Amino acid sequence: MIASNQLQLVLVTPETTLLDEPVQALRFPLFDGQIGILPGRAPLVGRLGYGELRITSEEGVRSYFVDSGFVQVKGGIVTLLTNRALAPEEINLASAEEQLKEATNCVANTDADLALKLKDQERARRLLALARNK
């Protein structure tokens, strides 16, 4: 059982459970903004956005790029289910720059295409920002 002043982070991708460890605090993107989680947080279910997952633990601060999914906070356990999670050192800078270039050069013929283009551009920008701050 988790103490009321602790958090347990479980970070899961389709391939594996990346992390299952105690943490002091978390910050990550929801689909409509950022959220910070501290011990004692009320239960929550939400849709993840894309961007930086910032983890504060006894070892220090670490970051991962998360790319959409879901989050559940229940009883001191924070579970993030995401399509992909990358540590900054795993991000290929050239590939991220190419993703941004492709998203920028994409022609949008409809409102839905434009929304997808803007979303892809923002995802690539956040990926690049994390990669550049390694």
Domain boundaries, the chain: 7-86, 92-132
Task: Provide the pLDDT for residue 6.
Answer: 81
H helix or E strand, kind and range, residue 99? helix 93-105
Q: Cβ(12)–Cβ(32) under 8 Å?
A: no
Domain 7-86: which CATH number of 2.40.180.10, 2.60.40.10, 2.60.15.10, 1.10.150.80: 2.60.15.10
Nearest-5° Cα angle at 15, 7 to 83: 70
pLDDT digits (tens, 9 = 90+) for 19-53: 999 999 999 999 999 999 999 999 999 999 999 99
Q: pTM for this structure?
A: 0.86
pLDDT digits (tens, 9 = 90+) for 104-134: 998 989 999 999 899 999 999 999 999 888 6
